[in-house]
Structure 1
């Protein structure tokens, strides 16, 4: 008889996170759905139960609060004794949409490219404080959650870590050659150097030197946070070879974070993370998935991949 699998999903009360929980439960995985807000999390579990998926339970989690992470880890340790799947989905976007109607009418995030940065100042604002919070959440807090669950994942026969990333986190979007070279050189990259690169970005962001030093000009902090997460994913895969650690871009999905824009539903967006969470034991590790397809980390190959993907080839 197959051993029961258990999963923790961060940011699981709505959007892609909720759909990940639903699809995992449909596949027989017992899910610990987490969110910062207790009532919303409990309501999400109730919604799953009413649809016939009664194995999901709620546990409060604020990934920016170390004591909250520790509380969840203790719960999993005492109630289950191991963890099979960790899906890091919770994230911040680091920006404010000033004119939602104009943003939607203009094509949502499809219009948000560096070449048009000067035309978007009345639509999008990226305050430094939100950018700093974005990096703390998407990179540092996600890293803390992962490290807290590594001991429990090591007790699983088929451990998986899935980091929900973004196409915006690919190095294709960066103009800083030193940054690109360092994050691609995974054999020599260290977590300490990722920290230094993040601080380098924040310093430039604070004094308005993004263009001068080759950083993204639009959705800047979010792009850097996800690029750092992608690099960390590869480092973790190398460090923990008995755990499959991968990152997945779910696609451009209609959620609150995208201000209800995008071509994909949350159900479609969740398919990639769920597929990767359920990879067989001989599956890949340290890999970037664009939805359900493995995509290259190298920039020229990724540019060709993106072109082919959007042309439907």
Structure 2
């Protein structure tokens, strides 16, 4: 049974991704910053007959927390097949880069960008011990430079700081994939699309089931390649 760690898995897309992958036979370590919320998320799945899940406390912004989570998984499983860097925050509005509060920008980057890098670095030794391992960074099309450069003014969203963190995350995906090109570890970004979660005050046009399905498809692809940016229906533009 392949082992998967999903950060930010106690709610939203992370929770639904855990549910769908568990139903496919993966063993899911559901990462959550808060221990009680993590346990409640696992219990919710247990109540629905899904038992191949376990909670693990991990705050991706806290180096000690990430290190402790790695030690726990190492003792339990010895290796990790899939790391899904899902934990993320939308940040406060407004986010216009001409005037946004830099403390808000730093907070967004601390979770969405530095948190993903910190977690990946910590778990790489476990990923190296698995066969055909993968790192999946949950991104967004608002981080696509190609998409942003062709949008009409009426289409431009105001989550600029959030989008900037996802552009940086995409760059990390490509660079890490290049560094690991001679290994058995693939590295890709996935955008679940405009999904209704608390990150956007549930104003998205897709359900969490639909958004998570895009991630699950990327996980279960026979030949996912590396340094790719996947979306529902194919590849997204960087």
Q: TM-score, normalised by structure 2?
A: 0.90
Which position in structure 2 is the counterpart of 1:228?
168
User: Which of these residues, 230, 234, 238, is aligned with residue 293 of structure 1?
Assistant: 234
**Structure 1: gaps of 5 or more residues:** 98-111, 119-124, 176-215, 298-313
1:24 aligns with 2:36: no
Aligned-partner SS, 1:261: coil
Aligned to 1:156: 130
Other-structure match for 1:284:
225
Match for 1:245 among 179, 187, 192?
Answer: 187
**Where does structure 2 lack aligned partners over 5 or more consecutive residues?**
150-155
Task: Give 1:217 shift.
Answer: 8.9
Q: How many residues align?
A: 230
Structure 1 consecutive aligned stretches of length 4 or more whose deviation exceeds 3 Å: none
CA distance in structure 2 between the aligned counterparts of 1:292 and 1:86, rounded to whole angstroms: 22
- Give the Cα separation in 1 of the matches to 2:70 and 2:220: 22
Query: Equivalent residue for 1:311?
Result: none
TM-score (norm 1): 0.69
CA contact (8 A) 2:147 2:237 kept: no
CA RMSD of aligned residues (A): 2.2
- Separation in 1 of the partners of 2:148 and 2:215? 25
- Bigger Rg, structure 1 or 2: 1
- SS state of the match for residue 193, structure 2? coil
Partner secondary structure for residue 137 of structure 2: strand
Is 1:69 aligned to 2:66, yes or no? Answer: yes
From 55, 60, 63, the counterpart of 2:57: 60
Which of 244, 247, 263 in structure 1 is aligned with 2:205?
Answer: 263
Are the equivalent residues in 1 in contact too, given 2:189–2:227 (CA < 8 A)? yes
3-state secondary structure, aligned to 2:75? helix
**CA offset at residue 37 of structure 1?**
1.3
Residues 5-57 of structure 1: per-residue CA shift (max 9 Å, x gap): 00000000011000010011011000000111111111000001111110100
